[in-house]
Amino acid sequence: MIDVIIPCYNAEDTLQRAVQSALNQAQLGTLWLIDDCSTDGSFQLAKQFEAQLPHKIRVERLAQNGGAAKARNWGALQSEAAFIAFLDADDAYENQALQVAEAVFLHRPEVALVRLELKPIDLAPRYAEHSNFDYAWQHMRMTGAGNTVFRRSFFLACGGFPQHSLFRVFGGEDGALGIATTKIATVATTFGEAGVLNFCREGMHAEHLLDAILFERVRPDITPEDIAQANQVTANICQSIQQLRDCLNSNEIGIKPLVMEWTKAD
């Protein structure tokens, strides 16, 4: 079974669609709705869903607004499932999407992360009709959070989605983790199978990535120093996993008493 985590912030208008799409998945374990201090009726709506299906839906509310990364990470900490999936509150699963991920993990035990198909709905023609759209959309599939299904142990070992203050301003925490996973683990892609319907809107965060790739429009408020910081976050994730790998691959297992010798500083 796969637990699904949906971070919610002012998602009252789309939450029911996302929730129903998760409930339609035969492989669903628990559906975690993590409210990030919404100011609309999202939390109340989520509690209504929980009251209707208390055996299937769990609702948590963060003490203060912390961003999507913190909401997703909190859900991962509450879950006890071996596999966790992240879905955005304004998107929806196609039928049998989680069945695709379950099959991959069953037959390919070396896989740490499955990336489901991500299908744009109502994407602006300036993107969808561009000659290089397929190339640009591949970046969306490989860096977003809403089409991911993780081995939970691997996700926690990575430290979850980075919560660096930089990402609270510009976004991109999902990209930082996504890039790191391709450097440290086996990431399976199931593009062409049932996946996630990505409902697009003007002003969505993905436009920044598409603008950069298709039209070479770089955000003027993002400096080279910001980019360097983001790249360092990715590098830190990779380094942490390498250190963990070194520990787990050691031939010295068990308790090892050590004697410390200290020298007095001059």
Q: Which helix (H) or strand (E) segment is 143 a member of? A: helix 133-143
What pLDDT, on a 0 to 100 scale, did the predictor assign at position 203? Answer: 82
pLDDT by residue (tens digit) across 51-75? 999 999 999 999 999 899 999 999 9
- Kindly report the pTM of this predicted structure: 0.92
* Cα 219 from Cα 147, distance rounded (Å): 25
Supply the range of the domain harboring residue 154.
2-248
Specify if 204 maps to a domain. Answer: yes
Looking at residue 220, what is its pLDDT? 83
Q: Does 135 reside within a domain?
A: yes
What does the pLDDT read at residue 80? 95
The whole-angstrom separation of Cα 177 and Cα 233 is 8
Please state, in angstroms and rounded to a whole number, the distance separating the CA atoms of residues 120 and 115: 15
Domain count across the chain: 1
Please report the pLDDT score of residue 165 as a whole number: 78
Please give the pLDDT value at position 131: 93
State residue 157's pLDDT score: 94
Residues of the chain with pLDDT under 70: 169, 266
120 assigned to some structural domain: yes
Assign residue 53 the CATH number of its domain.
Answer: 3.90.550.10
The token pair at 251 is: 């031939």
Counting other chains too, the contacts that 178-184 makes at CB distance below 8 Å and 24 or more residues apart are 178/142, 178/143, 178/144, 178/145, 178/148, 179/143, 179/234, 180/234, 180/237, 180/238, 180/241, 181/112, 181/113, 182/142, 183/234, 183/238, 184/158, 184/237, 184/238, 184/241, 184/242
Q: What is the pLDDT of residue 111?
A: 97
